[in-house]
Amino acid sequence: MHLQEDDNMEYKTQTRQMILDYMVENPDRIFKASEIAQSLPKVSLSTIYRNLSRLQETGMVQVVGAEKNNELQYRYTGPCRCASKMHLVCKDCGKFFHLEGPALRLLQHSIARVNGFILDQQQSVLLGYCAACSRQGK
């Protein structure tokens, strides 16, 4: 799949497109730059970080958080792919899930009522373990 980048990106590079294509092919996962580097062995890790930073600036990629070793994790957001959804991210396998519907509304309402805080859904991520990983004893 060849994805077109946002118009506000200054130019498209072949490497950036390879990173985007890799992330689009795995849409429900989070990635570390080192994982992307393993899948794109001809691209240096510093080049991957540089491109992820540019993709983050354009809104195509979001930093999800850091692992125990402080390595940042990223997810593909695409053009408005997840604008009105919060995410649940498995700390073990890296898969992420959309949290929407009644559960999200209840959470938003409760946080607003108790704390007076309004969530930015697209930037909000809850970390934990998915059903498959939690069955494995996590």
Per CATH, the architecture of 1-81 is what? Orthogonal Bundle (1.10)
Would you call 110 helix, strand, or coil by DSSP? helix
pLDDT tens string 39-84: 998 899 999 999 999 998 887 888 877 666 678 888 887 765 555 6
Q: Domains of the chain: which residue ranges?
A: 1-81, 83-138
The strand ranges marked E within 14-71 are: 31-32, 61-66
Q: Examine the pLDDT at 138 and tell me if it is beyond 70.
A: no
What is the pTM assigned to this prediction?
0.61
Check pLDDT > 60 for residue 16: yes
User: In the CATH scheme, what architecture does the domain 83-138 have?
Assistant: 2-Layer Sandwich (3.30)
- Partnered with residue 79 across adjacent β-strands are none
Q: What angle do CA 89, 97, 5 make, to 5 degrees?
A: 95
Confidence at residue 60, expressed as pLDDT on a 0 to 100 scale? 84
Whether 40 contacts 48, CB under 8 Å = yes
Q: What would the mean pLDDT of 9-30 be, rounded to a whole number?
A: 79
Asked whether this chain's domains 1-81 and 83-138 adopt the same fold, the reply is no
The 10 Å CB-count burial string (b at 16+, else e) for 42-68 is ebeeebbbebbebbeebbbbbebeeee
